[in-house]
Amino acid sequence: MADLDAEFAALLGEVNKIPTQTKAPPKRDKDGKVIQQVEVGVNLGTANEQVERLIAKVFTNGFDVLMLPPEAGEDDIKKQYRKLSLMVHPDKCKHERAQDAFQAVTKAYEELQKPENRTKYQKVIAEARKRVEKQRECVYQCQ
């Protein structure tokens, strides 16, 4: 539980920036797995912009590195990893920090390939969202 609280604390600042969710949550099968694909058509920008983004800060989870929502499935994670890794690969991108960016993308992908890590991040993010929504609700009601 202490690990969950520590991870929550690390994510709280990021989660406060998340807009209130207005769409329905994704459909899940009986095992809790998402059965609808998450849209990964995010504009990635240029290779240099991605390198700068990836080296500019320390990310708290692989979903942020890969620019995916926590509901993303294995196929979405793999597709986004391939796009980003090709974009920032040191052989293709001439930015002097391309190797660091490539390592960040690879590490995020490897973390999210483990179902237990993916589930852990999803739980932490879901809990953080609940707490932030509750906090926002209180702020709006208390005014």
Query: How confident is the prediction for the chain on average, in pLDDT?
Result: 82
- pLDDT computed for residue 138 by the predictor: 76
pLDDT higher than 70, residue 102: yes
Tell me how far apart the alpha carbons of residues 2 and 6 are, in angstroms, rounded to a whole number: 6
pLDDT higher than 70, residue 16: no
Note whether 70 and 125 are within 8 A (CB).
Answer: yes
pLDDT digits (tens, 9 = 90+) for 51-74: 999 999 888 899 999 999 998 989
Q: How many CB atoms are located within 10 Å of the residue 124 CB?
A: 22
Q: What is the pTM of this model?
A: 0.66
The H-or-E segment that residue 19 falls in is none
- pLDDT computed for residue 57 by the predictor: 87
